[in-house]
Each structure stands twice: as structure tokens, then as C-alpha cells.
Amino acid sequence: MAVYGWSGKRLGQKSSAALLLTPFVVAYLAFLVIPFLNGIWISLHNWNLMAVAFDPNAKEFVGLRNYERILWGKNIVWSPAASPLVQWSAAFVLLSTLLLTAFGKISRGTAVLVGSIALILFVACGFHPGAGGRWYDRRFWPTVGNTILFVALTVPSITIISLSLAVLVNRESRAMAVFRTIFFLSQVLSVTVVTLIWQLLFSPRQGLIANVITLFGGSPIHWLTDERFAMAAIVITTVWWSLGIAMILFLAGLQDISRDIYEAAALDNAKGWRAFRHITLPNLKRTITLVVVLQIILHFQVFGQSHLMTGGGPNDSTQTLVRYIYQTGFRDSELGRATTMAVFLFVIMGAFSLVQFLLGREDKD
């Protein structure tokens, strides 16, 4: 086959590829790469939004001072029992992972993922201010903790519930098609609508949940203003909102498993739960990894739910990282510090993306 250059009024493969890629690359550079690098640049400055807007020279280069002021404190020490519950659970998980790996019970990818999370938790939670010391930013680490707690509660719930739903509606019937649509429907609503719906549901006076509880003789829970329940309320809202996409991904994964295999399993005396355990789950491994990592990345960025439902309260118990960044940057105008936190968030999410990438590669072998 002849290859035409410009003279033939046809583009070669390379030049047409370049031509077709250009719009994307330009947009990608202009709206992602450059702002990102700019963000890192800002994070190295003492940069007040208002001041710099009026006088571009009002910023001061401070190097890594912002990072220190956010992440560190005065007289910070480390001990293995600073927050015993978290640290010791993490240590337990770490040890079990090592043991299971040694006996070949879990794959290397899973071991690295779980093990490194446990290790990071164990080490990170060990830092605390020593005698007379204090964190420079007292709100930052609790906020990170809230965000991690939020992710730790939502992601497993979403994964388990959406997988169960997917298994239940993975049937060829009209009723199941209707259910699939219904379960997916919540996904298309915007965060404002979702939070509005759930604010009504959670309302201690006229809300549905309060009504049901009263009906059974209980006293209504003040979901959004009670420190014990506010995080739960936000988690429930988020789970309800995000089930759809995870379910669709699981459905796609389920439909990839051939029916023959289930029939062979039925003859091998594996039906129902045992077929799920021995056939469905192992064959869905890739999908589960994908869903979990996507959800982690997505929910680390939680903002709307806490901003609109609880305003980060009560007593900062639902303050999340993105909301804190937003407030620092646009309420307090401390753009330098805000971008520093954003970079921190980027590192966390980047790490999970990397894990997803590595696990995906391992599966192909």
C-alpha cells in the first residue's frame, strides 16, 4: 500500500495522529498540566489571594515552609502507641498480610496494597506533639483523619452493596431492567439535589427516618447536628448516591463470565453462595480492584456532601480535606497554604492511581 505525504493530499499515519491529538494536548496542557505546575509554584509562596490580586508582587517565596506549617509542629515525637486503636489494628493487618503472603494465600499485588496502607497508617498515626509541643496547624491532621474515615466507611460499603445489587439484578427480565435503571438513577442527580433529599430524610422533626424511629417508640436522632451521627449521615448519603456507577461496572464484569462456567460449577456441586465464592468473586477480581481504586480516588475529594449538609460540623467532625482547602484558599485567602494541601491530596490520589496501574499490569501476566 502506498503511503502518501503532503504531496498526495493525504496525511501519513504519524502526521494525522499528531493533528488529531493536538486539540486534546492543547486543552490538557492549558487546563491541567500548567495549572498543576502553577499550583506547586504557588504552594512555595506565602500567597494571599486578595493581596496578590491587587499587587502581583505581594507574594513572598517561602520554600517548603508551607509544607512544614501544615504537616509538622513544634516538638513532634513518634511513639507506637500515640493512637493505639488505629496503630495496633494497622500493625495487626500488616502482620497478617506478611503471614498470608508467606503462605501464598494472597497475591503479591493485594499484599503490597494492603501492606503499604497498613504501614503508612501505623507510622503516620504514631506522630504526636511531645511535652509542650503542638501542631502548627491543629485542624489539618484531624481533617485528613476525617477524610480517611469517610473513605474507609464509604468505599467498602459501596463496593459490597453495589456488588450484591449487581448480582441480584444480573438477570434477563424486564423487572430486572427496571431495577437496574432505578438503582442507577441516583447517580445522575447532582450533589445539591442528593443532599437536599437526604437533609429532608434526616430531618429530626419531619424526616422519614425520624418518623419511622418514632413509630417504633424511639426518639428521633439529630443526624446532622449530633457529633456521633453526622459522619454516618454523610456516608449514607454518599453510598446511596454512588451505588449506580459501581453497580454498572460490576454488571459489566458479571456479564463477562460465561454461563457455561456456572453450569459446569452446578454440576460440580457449586451453586448459590458457593458459586459466588468460588466462581464469581475470583473472576471479578479485576473489576473489584477497579471499582475500589476509582471510589477511593473519587471519595477522597468529597466536598459537597459535608459542605451542604453539615458545614463541616458539628465541631469539625465532618470537615474534609477538600472543604478545608476551599476554606483556606477562598475564605481565608491563604492560597499558598491551600495549594500545599492540594498537593498533599494529589500525592495520596496519585499513589492509589499508581497502585491501580500496577495491579492492572500484574493481572495481565
Partner 1 sequence: MSGVELKNVVKTFGDIEVIHGVDLTVEDGEFCVFVGPSGCGKSTLMRLVAGLESITDGTIRIGERDVTKLDPALRGVAMVFQTYALYPHMTVEENMSFGLRMNGVPKDEIRRKVSEASRILKLDDYLKRKPKALSGGQRQRVAIGRTIVRGPEVFLFDEPLSNLDAELRVEMRVEIARLHKELGATMIYVTHDQVEAMTLADKIVVLRDGRIEQIGKPLDLYNDPDNRFVAGFIGSPSMNFLAADVRTGAIQSPALDQRLDLPSGKPADGTRLEVGIRPEHLSIDADGSYFRIDLIERLGGVSYVYLTGQQGERVIVEEGGSSRLQEHDHVGLAFNAADLRFFDADSGSRIR
Per CB under 8 A, residues contacting partner 1 are 258, 260-261, 263-271, 274, 278-279, 282-283, 285
Q: Which is nearer to partner 1, 208 or 261 (CB)?
A: 261
CB of 271 to partner 1, least distance (A): 7
Q: Enter the C-alpha cell of residue 312.
A: 463541616
Nearest to 97 by CA among 88, 86, 83, 108: 108
Nearest to 345 by CA among 155, 198, 151: 151
CB 300 within 8 A of CB 147: yes
Q: Enter the C-alpha cell of residue 251.
A: 454488571
CB 133 within 8 A of CB 77: yes
Q: Which is nearer to partner 1, 235 or 284 (CB)?
A: 284
Q: Which is nearer to partner 1, 93 or 270 (CB)?
A: 270
CB of 91 to partner 1, least distance (A): 31
CB of 45 to partner 1, least distance (A): 52
CB of 228 to partner 1, least distance (A): 42
Q: Which is nearer to partner 1, 254 or 308 (CB)?
A: 254
Q: Which is nearer to partner 1, 287 or 339 (CB)?
A: 287
Task: Count other C-beta atoms under 10 Å from residue 190's C-beta.
Answer: 10
Q: Which is nearer to partner 1, 228 or 278 (CB)?
A: 278
CB 4 within 8 A of CB 10: yes
CB of 285 to partner 1, least distance (A): 8
Q: Which is nearer to partner 1, 228 or 274 (CB)?
A: 274
CB of 263 to partner 1, least distance (A): 5
Q: Which is nearer to partner 1, 197 or 275 (CB)?
A: 275
Residue in the structure block whose three cell numbers are 459537597: 304
Phi and psi, residue 50, nearest 5°: -70, -50
Under DSSP, the state recorded for 219 is: P
CB of 268 to partner 1, least distance (A): 4
CB of 262 to partner 1, least distance (A): 9
* Residue 349, CB-side half-sphere exposure with 13 Å CA sphere: 19
How far is it, in rounded angstroms, from Cα 288 to Cα 66? 38
How far is it, in rounded angstroms, from Cα 101 to Cα 104? 5
Bridge partners, 46 (sequence order): 60
Alpha helix locations (H) across the chain? Answer: 13-28, 34-43, 49-54, 65-71, 84-102, 108-124, 140-169, 174-185, 191-202, 208-215, 230-255, 259-267, 272-275, 281-283, 285-299, 304-309, 321-326, 335-364
Torsion on CA atoms 350, 355, 358, 362, rounded to nearest 10: -170
Residue in the structure block whose three cell numbers are 496525511: 11
